[in-house]
Amino acid sequence: MKNLLFILAIAFSSASFAQGNLQFNQVIKVIDVNQTVPAGKVWKVESYHQQTVGISTNMPTTNCTDLARPRPYYVDNVMYHHINPIGNGNSSFASAATNEFPLWLSAGQLIRTTCPGDFLSIIEFNIVP
């Protein structure tokens, strides 16, 4: 009886850590409306494309009318910026939005951009047991 319980415990613990395989489902374009990763899916966020990206200032903005500044995107309603200084050939530096991707999101997580002209490029995968 002890052996049977031991074998069942090992089988259960192994199954609880099992992961599924990923199967391509579709490509998604997310804009400024919260979208939720569906159950049984994972999203691989490949990139964030701003309508216009300027390098004239290092101050980010959430204002869509200021197209010369990098804007954030939101994951689970938390704001993220990807801004790095870049050299402009003299002693001063400007900034530019950087590509810090891929970013993986699990079922139930939310994501959106700041402005309707911006979009996130996402690959959706089915989790296949």
pLDDT at 85: 54
Q: What is the pLDDT of residue 121?
A: 95
Bridge partners (DSSP) of residue 31 are none
DSSP code at position 37: P
- Break the chain into its structural domains and give their ranges: 19-128
CB-based contact 69:25 (threshold 8 Å) = no
- Number of Cα atoms under 13 Å in the Cβ half of residue 27: 5
Return the pLDDT at 51.
78
Give residue 18's pLDDT: 55
Distance, in Å, from the CA atom of 72 to the CA atom of 69, rounded to the nearest integer, reads 10
**Cα gap 101→44, rounded to integer Å:** 9
Provide the pLDDT for residue 76.
95
Residue numbers of the chain with a pLDDT score lower than 70: 1-18, 52-63, 66-69, 82-99
